[in-house]
């Protein structure tokens, strides 16, 4: 994930909240798959979710000359298998953590995975601790 492009924080917050809101809505509707608009930032975040197994898979499709990302959620029979996401930072208010405070927070919240924006792009807090980097916390997935 080190070679991923870095985007401004405002754009990421909007894209992250857009994708997460659609995932949460479709989880409640018990839909197995749904479409979102294709942008570079959306595909980057969806790929991040796929790498950490928060979504089952995704594909890029064309419908009436428009490009979409089709996201498939995890389901077993009729029960969803997924994580809850809580957005912490917003475009008007960002929440950043240093490396030392990130280590302390990760010990207190062992069952959660934080999404951190660093100069390397979006990474999990485990990878940020391994790289000894701090950054802006966008949100976290709780088990």
Q: Which residue has the higher pLDDT, 63 or 9?
A: 63
Topology given in CATH for the domain delimited by 9-142: Dna Ligase; domain 1 (3.30.1490)
What are the extents of the domains in the chain?
Answer: 9-142
Assigned token pair, 101: 């405070």
Model confidence pLDDT, tens digit, residues 12-31: 667 778 888 888 888 888 78
Residues in the chain: 143
Q: What is the pTM of this model?
A: 0.77
Q: How far apart are CA 89 and CA 56, in angstroms?
A: 26
Assigned token pair, 102: 């990130």
Assigned token pair, 80: 């969803």
């Amino acid at each position: 994930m080190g070679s991923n492009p870095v985007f401004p924080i405002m754009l990421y917050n909007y894209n992250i909240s857009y994708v997460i809101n659609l995932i949460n809505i479709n989880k409640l509707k018990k839909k197995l798959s749904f479409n979102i608009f294709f942008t570079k930032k959306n595909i980057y975040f969806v790929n991040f979710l796929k790498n950490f197994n928060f979504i089952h898979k995704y594909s890029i499709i064309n419908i009436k000359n428009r490009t979409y990302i089709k996201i498939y959620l995890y389901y077993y029979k009729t029960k969803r298998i997924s994580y809850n996401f809580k957005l912490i930072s917003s475009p008007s208010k960002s929440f950043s953590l240093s490396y030392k405070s990130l280590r302390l927070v990760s010990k207190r919240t062992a069952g959660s995975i934080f999404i951190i924006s660093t100069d390397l792009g979006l990474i999990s807090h485990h990878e940020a601790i391994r790289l000894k980097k701090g950054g802006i916390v966008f949100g976290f997935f709780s088990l």
